[in-house]
Structure 1
């Protein structure tokens, strides 16, 4: 979910002509689906346009996930998990990928260090653009020498590269 903070900029005033052009673009180019959504869309924009200088508004958006994309990523994770030699538990494997892809929060540890806590990739919690970013970062991580050495410690560096590339090629990566 994208969270966006908006602020009405002080010292910027729109002429009536500017307002008409903006309203035409907002309400004719993009509109709500059906009467109820059209009314909600207009009410929301009217609230935005009535902000006072310096007033802040927070907007949360959600872009639906594409089912085929989600299934492709999950199948890729499963294929790598089945081919690797390090992890016995899928959850641990997935958490390792999340951390390696940077999809985590970092917290102070009990002894002064920091530790990662993987973020969710739940279908309902992560919108499509963020899932695509995570997927790309996960694939990039799986291609690293560190990932190869972790997943297939007995193979040579060249064989590790071949192993991950064969799997990724099956998913057009």
Structure 2
């Protein structure tokens, strides 16, 4: 039995922090990078459910580190993060920021980001 682990794309991982920096500089996100990552993990469902002793369900964010998440899973998660940012953080008045973020991504994801931006009258 052989287990093949594809190397994670470091540049792709770094784009997450570029995204955070753009949001923070624009005043869209006021917390630190850890709070942004927690928000992104919770918002995309990248969590484990834990039942506490009182019977309440708690959500614990999962790790996105290189050992915990292969590149294909990270790419899918990144796709959901971009959608989440466009859907919940950036409104129609922030067209320049929307375009800058859409420029960070390429391929099918970039096309979906531009389509989402177009809903608000932005030309990415």
Output the TM-score relative to the length of structure 2.
0.67
> RMSD over aligned Cα, in angstroms?
2.5
* CA distance, structure 1, for counterparts of residue 51 and residue 27 of structure 2: 31
CA distance 1:99–1:164, change in 2 (3 Å): farther
Q: Deviations over 1:36-69 (max 9, x none)?
A: xxxxxxxx4xxxxxxxxxxxxxx75422101222
Residue 58 of structure 2 is aligned to residue 125 of structure 1: no
Count of residue pairs brought into register by the alignment: 106
In the other structure, the counterpart of 1:168 is 101
Contact 1:80–1:167 (8 Å) recurs in 2: no
In the other structure, the counterpart of 2:83 is 140
Unpaired segments of 5 or more residues in structure 2?
Answer: 111-124
In the other structure, the counterpart of 2:113 is none
More strand by share: 1
Q: Deviations over 1:95-129 (max 9, x none)?
A: 00111111111222455432211111112332110
Contact 1:142–1:164 (8 Å) recurs in 2: no
* CA distance, structure 2, for counterparts of residue 163 and residue 124 of structure 1: 35
Q: Compare CA radii of gyration and give the structure with the larger one.
A: 1
In structure 1, which of residues 78, 81, 91 is the aligned counterpart of residue 21 of structure 2? 78
Residue 10 of structure 2 is aligned to residue 67 of structure 1: yes
- 3-state SS of 1:107 partner: strand
